[in-house]
Amino acid sequence: MIENIRLSFQGIWSHKLRSVLTMLGIIIGIASIISIVSTIKGTNEQIKQNLIGSGNNVVKIQLYRQDADYVYEVNYEGIPEGIPQISDDLYQEVLELPNVENAAVYNRRQSYDASFYYGNTELSGAEVYGIDNSYFTTCGYRVKRGRTFMPKDFRDFRAVAVIDDNTAKLLFQGEEAVGKTIEYSSIALVIVGVVEENRKFEPVINSIEDYFTYAQSSSGGKIFLPNSIWPTLFSYDEPQEMSVQASSTEAMSTVGKDAADLLNSYNTNKEIHYRGEDTLQKAKELQDLSNATNQQLIWIASISLLVGGIGVMNIMLVSVTERTREIGLKKAIGAKKSRILWQFLTEAAVLTSLGGILGVGAGFGLSMLISSLTQAPVSISVPFIFLAVLFSMAIGILFGLLPSVKAANLNPIDALRHE
């Protein structure tokens, strides 16, 4: 085998230009497929990252009326009939579900239904949350200034609030927020802390479609209140929702479904139900849409591999013709058919393997070029690189089989007479 490989490199080096031209189809095909696959993989990772965000594996269990988000900001009749209050016992049941790391119960409103003021400055577009003591830990927030809520804040119904950094900038415009007082419906709330996400994340927006797909977070910031004072501010008890932290990204879909099913088992309302926000499923749907388009490009690029394979077969047939006397001489001194067969198969495999290796390098360069020109993310798959080289070798063996068989079956006497 080593001798066959040495002879193969010797033959390729003896006909450098012919060998390069023969490999060209393989190089173009492998480069095209690698660049397309890298772009697909990079795009899919970007889709997943855009939807999952900072990666704290939190699934929101929210209320829906049929398939639409249940808007209870304008509901002044309290909790809809049949919707369960999330009691301590029910909360513990959620925590005991498989792959659940933590959970938090909260109420929420948009500030268009809850106007907050600092002096004459009105905050609009913010999300308002009435949270329990585990919310910040579950959802991945850390204290930037001040503090979060203490057990005494809940127990004593203190009128305190925690805001995120965006809200601090909008309301206080560079002033220190901690210790300041904001108002809602003549109720004064003291800011005790400013928080931010542990891993700040902004989705990559490359088009208007990306904006409407990913830019779903409120631009007006967030205000957090102890859930104990929520009825004081908004007059009515309101249905609660949950954020559940899964043990891994892959477990998010299962955890969301299990938690929603558990809450719905206590729900007797036929119109309104709990549902987990399945970001992985949403990402998969977008990835499938992207893949469906790009698979066609892969098939088109594969045509060049077929053309390259035919080129290998053609050049090997020429090589057999050129070396007919050499083959006849080898057979005359006792070389077996299998020796001749493997010599030519090895030469074809080495030729296409070299084309595959050069194609991998060209594909890597092409991927980087596409990324720099179009800003499209790319992700090089190392296993696919090895697969591409092995595939190019397989093409050499497949298309080199016919010439190799022809060489092995030559009659030594006729071969020696060949001019």
What are 328-363's pLDDT values in tens digits?
A: 767 677 777 777 777 777 877 888 888 888 888 888
Name the DSSP letter for residue 251: G
Note the pTM of the prediction, 2 decimals: 0.59
Q: Mark whether 258 and 290 lie in a shared domain.
A: no
Domains identified in the chain, total number: 2
What are 372-408's pLDDT values in tens digits?
A: 776 666 777 777 777 777 877 787 777 777 777 776 6
Does residue 278 lie within any of the structural domains?
no
Is 161 a residue whose pLDDT tops 90?
A: yes
Which percentage of the chain shows pLDDT scores above 90?
Answer: 19
Q: Mark whether 302 and 368 lie in a shared domain.
A: yes
Name the DSSP letter for residue 379: -
Does residue 108 lie within any of the structural domains?
yes
The amino acid present at 401, given as its one-letter code, is L
328 CB burial (10 A radius; 0-12, 13-18, 19+): buried
Is 194 a residue whose pLDDT tops 50?
A: yes
Q: Contact 404/346 with Cβ under 8 angstroms?
A: no
Give the domain extent around 32. 2-49+285-417
Least confident of 57-61, 404-408, 409-413: 409-413
Q: Mark whether 132 and 234 lie in a shared domain.
A: yes
Q: Mark whether 152 and 87 lie in a shared domain.
A: yes
Q: Mark whether 306 and 356 lie in a shared domain.
A: yes
281 CB burial (10 A radius; 0-12, 13-18, 19+): middle
Q: Mark whether 259 and 343 lie in a shared domain.
A: no
User: What integer pLDDT is reported at residue 217 of this predicted model?
Assistant: 47
What are 67-78's pLDDT values in tens digits?
A: 777 765 444 556
User: What integer pLDDT is reported at residue 146 of this predicted model?
Assistant: 93
Q: Which of 246, 270, 294 is the last residue of a domain?
A: 270
Q: Mark whether 266 and 329 lie in a shared domain.
A: no
Does residue 62 lie within any of the structural domains?
no
Q: How confident is the model at residue 163 (pLDDT cuts 50, 70, 90)?
A: very high
The amino acid present at 306, given as its one-letter code, is L
Is 236 a residue whose pLDDT tops 60?
A: yes
Q: Mark whether 290 and 265 lie in a shared domain.
A: no
User: What integer pLDDT is reported at residue 100 of this predicted model?
Assistant: 92
Q: Which of 270, 303, 337 is the last residue of a domain?
A: 270
Does residue 276 lie within any of the structural domains?
no
The amino acid present at 230, given as its one-letter code, is W
The average pLDDT across 313-340 equals: 71
Selection from 158, 162, 132, 157 nearest residue 147 by Cα: 162
Q: How confident is the model at residue 3 (pLDDT cuts 50, 70, 90)?
A: low
The average pLDDT across 118-122 equals: 85
Q: Mark whether 86 and 226 lie in a shared domain.
A: yes
Does residue 57 lie within any of the structural domains?
no
Does residue 401 lie within any of the structural domains?
yes
The average pLDDT across 25-35 equals: 82
Q: Mark whether 257 and 121 lie in a shared domain.
A: yes
Q: Mark whether 35 and 140 lie in a shared domain.
A: no
Q: Mark whether 87 and 188 lie in a shared domain.
A: yes
Is 323 a residue whose pLDDT tops 90?
A: no
Does residue 305 lie within any of the structural domains?
yes
| Element housing 141 (H / E) | strand 141-146
